[in-house]
Structure 1
């Protein structure tokens, strides 16, 4: 049985928790000194000792833990977790019955009622991501609960918190049957090679599913496509299958080249007909300008923060300049797919970055389409930061 700690919430935040805010933030706590061991159950009370909510203590970059229930008599045990998982899986029924998409999110942290815990589905296998030492203390209960409510071929895990050298598993395998990698999953009929046993990343970002499909269905046919910060080339594959005449994928990571070749190959595309460059994106922009290269579609999906030998990139500071670089090598009436996964600002501010870039260059544009997270990435309306993905299809005037 986990120990339970009463934590006092100041008057400023009391109303927020009453409304359903799920993140336990430092500024809300009157007595943070009582927090000792991560994974402890937190009983949130107001200054008069009246019950507000119950959660757990787990340090994340976002805060000190998460609210799990507003019922004082709820016990956070395996049965509690099973109910949360069963509800989440029930919400994804349409995905489970779609043979054209075999990889998606099953449990999205606080959006499904348990912050810090993410579970993704890959063609019968489940991948659990733990975002704090606190949530990791629930490991045995979560795994047992998942096996009780889902038909699991096998379970893998990723620890996305600083383990300080502890908890090192051989290959992230937890239980069940071991997968054969690369595992080929489908997304709207497109094949992707994924690895559940090879470091932090699997080979595909599931949150961009709808964006890739839009590129394939509506924007790629007969076009030249530049995919910057291309990672494993998933956008390039979608564009090629959508009829792009040529794709160019640019990423600084050396592994990106072999990974992109693999993604083209599992879709029967001759990678030698595409350009795959291991190069700093900012150097590529200079090269493209020098060679007077222009593209019909340019995809900008940078990490929130990136550092190379010459450049440091931060979305909140540098996206306008990145957009200006992209505008310079986009054909008239071309489209820039501007994307960010930064949770530190909303769509309105992101649109402001785009607008500023065009104003500074004296150009015209229209936003023809916009996307946020797909439906399997369930978000809680009281926690707007959870809806982190912002994608704009920007057409040059």
Structure 2
């Protein structure tokens, strides 16, 4: 087997089970491993550290898989990891919830692989050359375990470019998903678009946070920003909000949201959907003197890397300031960041700055996290990306 030898003193993180070896840590490569090939990783003294998958194109040159030398990476290894990941999610699948993240990349020792279950269909994203090399095994095992109606691939992410991989979208198994696939989450029905929707089709990482936020909306006027297909909106409607305004820049999102309002039998008279740029719309609402009791901000990732953090912090601050200006004493803001580069303490500071600029005194009354099907591996803190705050105007 091809071998990777690390520079002196570059093995500490690997010994501590961190799954990434950066290209700058590699002293030499013995053999000529193709991208996606399993290799053995050693320290400078030729002591075995782990098995991993090599990619010369990527800054993360080796993605580590297994630290026990007696457990080589064969077909059975991949299958057992898939089986274990699915097994751990089984308790989450009930008659009130049939959408869940089955495999969460590094957290499940399968770096570069995301699998989401949406009702009878699976949506797969492959980010790494190592997973691309065993795609057939992955599909076979998922079929064996779950007997889905179909498996659709949505591997069209920037991460693939860094791995030297082209985009890959298409059917991997079974039936092609229809334009709208029906799923249920928190007892609420959704029609989602797996083929053309954002990410893999739906944001199941906000499942718990939607339910928690809904506890504050009964008889309240709610503004849901970056609403997408209506996760927070529909939970608020179910919980008895007096009125809801939902905003998103995507025409498909607004169309899907309308379908989901009707699907669940919620009163469309108390709901308004607006296709608009959120920041511009918040400014418009301020100019019109509008006020809300509860505002939800669930924006896209503003900080894709630590180098973008300062710019992202300013964007988060401006966005939250505009929302806070639409709340009066007792009002509540549920605000989120899905930027892994921004930790919760930094996020709190940004919201504090936003409140100061808005002339508002605030309290943090709850913190939000990603749910248990998006676990955070102790040796891979980078897997923690979703955080949120429930903010009350004093």
Length-normalised TM-score, structure 2: 0.90
Aligned to 1:321: 318
The answer to whether the Cα contact below 8 Å between 2:209 and 2:369 also exists between their aligned partners in 1 is no
TM-fit CA distance, 1:226: 0.8
Aligned to 1:117: 113
Query: Of residues 140, 146, 151 in structure 2, which corresponds to 1:144?
Result: 140
Structure 1 gap ranges (5+): 307-312
Query: Aligned residues, how many?
Result: 384
Aligned to 1:303: 300
- CA 32–271 in structure 1, closer or farther in 2 if over 3 Å, else same: farther
TM-fit CA distance, 1:180: 3.8
- CA 208–31 in structure 1, closer or farther in 2 if over 3 Å, else same: same
- CA 300–65 in structure 1, closer or farther in 2 if over 3 Å, else same: farther
Q: What is the CA–CA distance in structure 1 between the aligned matches of 2:137 and 2:21, rounded to whole Å?
A: 22
The alignment partner of 1:305 has SS state of coil
TM-fit CA distance, 1:305: 3.3
For residues 89-238 of structure 1, the aligned pairs below 5 Å read 89-96=86-93, 98-161=94-157, 162=160, 169=169, 172-198=170-196, 200-216=198-214, 218-238=215-235
Q: What is the CA–CA distance in structure 1 between the aligned matches of 2:370 and 2:385, rounded to whole Å?
A: 7
Say which is worse superposed, 57-66 or 221-230, in terms of deviation: 57-66
Coordinate RMSD, CA, aligned: 2.5
1:29 aligns with 2:26: yes
The alignment partner of 2:376 has SS state of coil
- CA 36–83 in structure 1, closer or farther in 2 if over 3 Å, else same: closer
Q: What is the CA–CA distance in structure 2 between the aligned matches of 1:348 and 1:8, rounded to whole Å?
A: 37
TM-fit CA distance, 1:343: 0.8
Q: What is the CA–CA distance in structure 2 between the aligned matches of 1:291 and 1:267, rounded to whole Å?
A: 31
The alignment partner of 1:64 has SS state of strand
- CA 227–147 in structure 1, closer or farther in 2 if over 3 Å, else same: same
Aligned to 2:85: 88
Structure 2 gap ranges (5+): 304-309
Q: What is the CA–CA distance in structure 2 between the aligned matches of 1:362 and 1:295, rounded to whole Å?
A: 17
- CA 66–369 in structure 1, closer or farther in 2 if over 3 Å, else same: same
Length-normalised TM-score, structure 1: 0.89
Q: What is the CA–CA distance in structure 2 between the aligned matches of 1:328 and 1:179, rounded to whole Å?
A: 43
